[in-house]
Structure 1
Amino acid sequence: MTLPSLDFEILRRIRAEWFGNVRGDVLAGLVVALALIPEAIAFSIIAGVDPQVGLYASFSIAVLIAFTGGRPGMISAASAATAVLMVTLVRDHGLQYLLAATVLAGLIQIGAGVLKLGFVMRFVSRSVLTGFVNALAILIFLAQIPELTNVTWVTYAMVAGGLAIIYGFPYLTKAIPSPLVCIVVLTGLAMWLGMDVRTVSDMGELPSTLPVFLIPDIPFNLETLMIILPYSAAVAMVGLLESLLTAQIVDDLTDTPSDRNRECIGQGIANTATGFIGGMAGCAMIGQSIINIKSGGRGRLSTLMAGLFLLFMILVLGEWVGLIPMPALVAIMIMVSIGTFSWRSVKNLRDHPKSSSFVMIATVVTVIFSHNLAIGVGVGVLLSGIFFAWRVSRNFAVSTLASEDGRERTYTVTGQLFFASSEDFMKAFDFKEVLDKVTIDLSAAHIWDLSSVAAIDMAVLKFRREGAEVELKGMNTASRTLVDRLGIHDKPGALERLMGH
């Protein structure tokens, strides 16, 4: 590609991503901004910080990811997935440590993008992703319990009314987001009737000015690093997992590709910058991204406008936002948890393979008990790998055929030869049989790793020790290359080395 054509391609892509759908992106950004306000406040409360921390974060992340992210049209902001991981840190060490952890999490994500680790998503099975989403939904719901304890019947009535509005209003019209209607109606009732319920302003001061650059007020030493590193690593991993999962969903909805490694770097830049303006860590949001796409948003402009509209509303309408009753936000978060949970996965427990269902349940249970999505995903990935290796090893077989005079024998290997099947490979041979020649036919097999090469070495050397000539035949190019590079059975002293053991 020549330089002029390269410049034209860059300009064409910029125009498509930013100005290919201006009207749809602007309107979708407004809808998303309206829906972001209650969620940003609610996620701040989940993390145990003032609402302005989540609101600043949502504004900052949305604006920055519009420029740096790898998936146009995807919404990133303060999220429940990262908020639940920060609860203990905030409780034990305070806000300044949360800001520092946010900066470090962003740097880790940038490193993941630079190292091109976006490909690891392909190793996360659908069962793990389902368990991840279900666990996230349960944690969101559990986070609402404190707001529903030691309260009057008025709170329960408002929550029930809020849920009725959220699920009932769309039957009248979908032009206005039902969570926004829930907030307006319940706020109006609370003010009109003078209801004694907690409001957003009771949770902390809302921002009234633009965020300013600040360096977290913490000791810069190894002890501090050891405090924030576990939280930062968990936030970085969970944030990237949810972001890349959301990117895949948006890819499917729009039939367009995304750049996973750029998305990692973009999320990292957004989080690093957000920590320096008093915001908490965030990531892509499945629900808001789907709202954006269904509202007509397709390009980066929709994400940018969502962030700018959000900032305008919290600065200009901040006094009104402080009057929002907490039951309205609880109702919205219950709606988010219900909508996030994959109810189909419960029905599929009977139909899906037992191993897949076990992985999904194990992921959910691990997350619930550890309150750490990263640990749950790690357990799920590990179990998925174990079950996959077991299934592949079950498809491995070795058949045998002796010559008419009984002096020669051919072993035919079928399937994948790797660490999980190497033991079965060795058990298939009778090393005590007196033979002149042994042929190991690997035409229908593939050799994958050092364990399988070591098993071949052992088989060949044991037959040779018993006086038989051994021939390996039929290996494909990849298998032959691996055996030639790692195998020792044809190297000087190999038999002596075996007998020495």
Structure 2
Amino acid sequence: MITMSSIRRDWFGNIRADVLSGIVVALALIPEAIGFSVIAGVDPKVGLYASVVIACVIAFTGGRPAMISAATASTAVLMTGLVRDHGIQYLFAATILMGVIQIIAGLLKLGRLMRFVSQSVMTGFVNALAILIFLAQLPQLLNVPPATYGLIAVGLAIIYILPRFTKVIPSPLVAIAVLTMVAFFFHFDVRTVADLGELPSTLPSLGLPDVPWTLETLQILLPVSLTLAAVGLLESLLTAQIVDDLTDTPSNKNRESMGQGVANMASAVFGGMGGCAMIGQSIINVTSGGRGRLSSLVAGVFLLILLVSLQGLLAIVPVAALTAVMIMVSINTFSWQSVIKLRVNPWQSSIVMLATVATVVVTSDLAKGVLVGVLLSGVFFAGKVSRLSRVTSTLSPDGLTRTYAVEGQVFFASAATFTEAVDLIEPVERIVIDVGAAHFWDISAVGALDRIVLKGRARGKIMEVAGLNAASATMVERFATHDKVAP
């Protein structure tokens, strides 16, 4: 619930640190936005405008203060085909539809699905992103003038050493300022922001996409928009959880879903591409002291000021300065403890984490990596729970009745064990299936019970099921067939 106290806390509780951290984030957004525009096959201004609008809007509509959202690689790679085949106006229309879908997801409270993402998947997600962030800096480290390496080394030294003496100004901001002055006054032959691509010099204009609003257009847009919405929400909600942990504060995941939708719709009508939360820039914001919504708003507003009013100053910022900041982000993002714990954690958890990392790094697709991790977590969990069930049996003194006592959870992973444990060939007249200490979870469990009872009857035995609890009895009553067939 939004209250006056929450508004004061989110907007005015950390003003100085939020403003300074927002400035650092604005600078760090520039090379990313330009690079993601290239990936999507659009003009650099499309990614830069998107970053401005999304950062500003999400500051008001999002559910996770201090998290930074803008144009991202995970969504940019999904836009290439649409832009190539239909043009940029269709991209704007797809982004609007993407926003609508995300708003609907928030209204349906799909943020609750985050509870199914295990800690191992989260760790793998974080580590994979750290690796991808570092790999993205390689073009700035290969085949560059020697001065570049010196500037990066000095930048990293400032970033890590300055906080030992003072934290009044975020060390990444100091590093960017110092390296810019050094490169400018000493005339170092290094790449600058101006070399990354043409920077826009005017404000974005407002307007709806110029596409035919027909069913055929919807058929073109819907598959792309659904994918963009899903990937954007996945990365945003996972990043929100990471920022929750870093700041030890909760967030409203359903509000974040709707906020992302509103921000993407706003981006599209101002000529921007779709985006989502950015873990790298969010880490920069948090480690620089950002805690409130003001930090995100400052990032968007200051980026716009840089593009429109301070373009000359922005153009001389050396790329090496921004590379140093992103290397810091990569180092700080990676969970180094997870490497140490590989030997002590359960092997299943380690496999889930490594599989998530490998899938994301190989495919550069966060959604696929998380999907693989969640599926593996589910498989391992099902296997573990299935081993907690057991079946024991006793024979009556007269040798005519065999009672099977079923204990634990009966579901798709343990149903086969349940079926195999009941011997229908044994020469007894009556078989009792005592499930008083068991619970039936799904139709696989009910189907196993059906097979046992019907096969036993086919062999001329009296079959009896005893001890069903209320929930299991409801399942059996709805889905079983043995009680609807005459013995």
TM over 0.5: yes
Residue type of the alignment partner of 1:386: V
Q: Structure 1 residue 335 and structure 2 residue 325: aligned?
A: no
Query: After superposition, where does 1:240-389 map in structure 2 within 5 Å?
Result: 240-252=233-245, 257-286=250-279, 288-289=281-282, 299-389=292-382
1:44 paired residue number: 33
Deviation of residue 288 (structure 1)?
Answer: 4.9
Deviations 1:33-59 (A, max 9, x none): 212122211212331446544443233
Deviation of residue 96 (structure 1)?
Answer: 5.7
Counterpart pick for 2:137 among 129, 137, 144: 144
The alignment partner of 2:426 has SS state of coil
Deviation of residue 165 (structure 1)?
Answer: 2.1
Structure 1 window deviating more from structure 2 (192-201 vs 307-316): it is 307-316
1:18 paired residue number: 7
Q: Residue 51 of structure 2 contacts residue 70 of structure 2 at CA under 8 Å; is this kept in 1? A: yes
Deviations 1:184-207 (A, max 9, x none): 111111211212222111222333
Unaligned ranges ≥5, structure 1: 1-9, 496-501
Counterpart pick for 1:31 among 17, 20, 32: 20
Deviation of residue 428 (structure 1)?
Answer: 0.3
Instruction: Find the aligned partners of 2:250 and 2:339 in 1 and give their Cα distance.
Output: 30
Alpha carbons of structure 1 residues 382 and 34: separation in structure 2 relative to 1, 3 Å: same
Instruction: Find the aligned partners of 2:114 and 2:198 in 1 and give their Cα distance.
Output: 39
Structure 1 window deviating more from structure 2 (19-28 vs 437-446): it is 19-28
Q: Structure 1 residue 478 and structure 2 residue 471: aligned?
A: yes
Q: Residue 21 of structure 2 contacts residue 290 of structure 2 at CA under 8 Å; is this kept in 1? A: no
Residue type of the alignment partner of 2:192: T
Structure 1 window deviating more from structure 2 (32-41 vs 73-82): it is 73-82
Structure 1 window deviating more from structure 2 (286-295 vs 442-451): it is 286-295
The alignment partner of 2:482 has SS state of coil
The alignment partner of 2:392 has SS state of strand
Unaligned ranges ≥5, structure 2: none
Deviations 1:279-306 (A, max 9, x none): 3333234455566567776554554444
Q: Residue 31 of structure 2 contacts residue 196 of structure 2 at CA under 8 Å; is this kept in 1? A: no
Give the root-mean-square deviation of aligned CA atoms: 3.0
Alpha carbons of structure 1 residues 337 and 217: separation in structure 2 relative to 1, 3 Å: farther
Instruction: Find the aligned partners of 2:224 and 2:342 in 1 and give their Cα distance.
Output: 33
Instruction: Find the aligned partners of 2:380 and 2:73 in 1 and give their Cα distance.
Output: 30
Instruction: Find the aligned partners of 2:163 and 2:81 in 1 and give their Cα distance.
Output: 37
Instruction: Find the aligned partners of 1:292 and 1:327 in 2 and give their Cα distance.
Output: 19
The alignment partner of 1:77 has SS state of strand
Instruction: Find the aligned partners of 1:369 and 1:296 in 2 and give their Cα distance.
Output: 33
The alignment partner of 2:257 has SS state of helix
Structure 1 window deviating more from structure 2 (448-457 vs 101-110): it is 101-110
Deviation of residue 156 (structure 1)?
Answer: 2.2
Provide the aligned length of Structure 1 versus Structure 2: 483
Q: Structure 1 residue 236 and structure 2 residue 229: aligned?
A: yes
Instruction: Find the aligned partners of 2:164 and 2:79 in 1 and give their Cα distance.
Output: 37
Q: Residue 435 of structure 1 contacts residue 467 of structure 1 at CA under 8 Å; is this kept in 2? A: no
Q: Residue 18 of structure 2 contacts residue 292 of structure 2 at CA under 8 Å; is this kept in 1? A: no
Alpha carbons of structure 1 residues 302 and 325: separation in structure 2 relative to 1, 3 Å: closer
Q: Structure 1 residue 126 and structure 2 residue 119: aligned?
A: yes
Counterpart pick for 2:154 among 141, 151, 161: 161
Alpha carbons of structure 1 residues 367 and 257: separation in structure 2 relative to 1, 3 Å: closer
Instruction: Find the aligned partners of 2:138 and 2:378 in 1 and give their Cα distance.
Output: 36
The alignment partner of 2:413 has SS state of coil
Instruction: Find the aligned partners of 1:450 and 1:221 in 2 and give their Cα distance.
Output: 43
Instruction: Find the aligned partners of 2:179 and 2:320 in 1 and give their Cα distance.
Output: 8
Q: Residue 47 of structure 2 contacts residue 272 of structure 2 at CA under 8 Å; is this kept in 1? A: yes
Deviation of residue 365 (structure 1)?
Answer: 1.3
Q: Structure 1 residue 197 and structure 2 residue 186: aligned?
A: no
The alignment partner of 2:13 has SS state of helix
The alignment partner of 1:283 has SS state of strand
TM-score if structure 2 supplies the norm length? Answer: 0.89
Q: Structure 1 residue 56 and structure 2 residue 49: aligned?
A: yes
TM-score if structure 1 supplies the norm length? Answer: 0.86
Deviation of residue 419 (structure 1)?
Answer: 0.9
Deviations 1:93-140 (A, max 9, x none): 886665455434323322322332111111111111111111112112
Alpha carbons of structure 1 residues 255 and 345: separation in structure 2 relative to 1, 3 Å: closer
1:4 paired residue number: none
Deviation of residue 158 (structure 1)?
Answer: 2.0
Q: Residue 81 of structure 1 contacts residue 136 of structure 1 at CA under 8 Å; is this kept in 2? A: no
Residue type of the alignment partner of 1:403: S
The alignment partner of 1:349 has SS state of helix
Q: Residue 40 of structure 1 contacts residue 51 of structure 1 at CA under 8 Å; is this kept in 2? A: no
Q: Residue 23 of structure 2 contacts residue 298 of structure 2 at CA under 8 Å; is this kept in 1? A: no
Q: Residue 21 of structure 1 contacts residue 297 of structure 1 at CA under 8 Å; is this kept in 2? A: no
Alpha carbons of structure 1 residues 454 and 124: separation in structure 2 relative to 1, 3 Å: same
1:443 paired residue number: 436
Instruction: Find the aligned partners of 1:185 and 1:224 in 2 and give their Cα distance.
Output: 50
Instruction: Find the aligned partners of 2:76 and 2:322 in 1 and give their Cα distance.
Output: 16
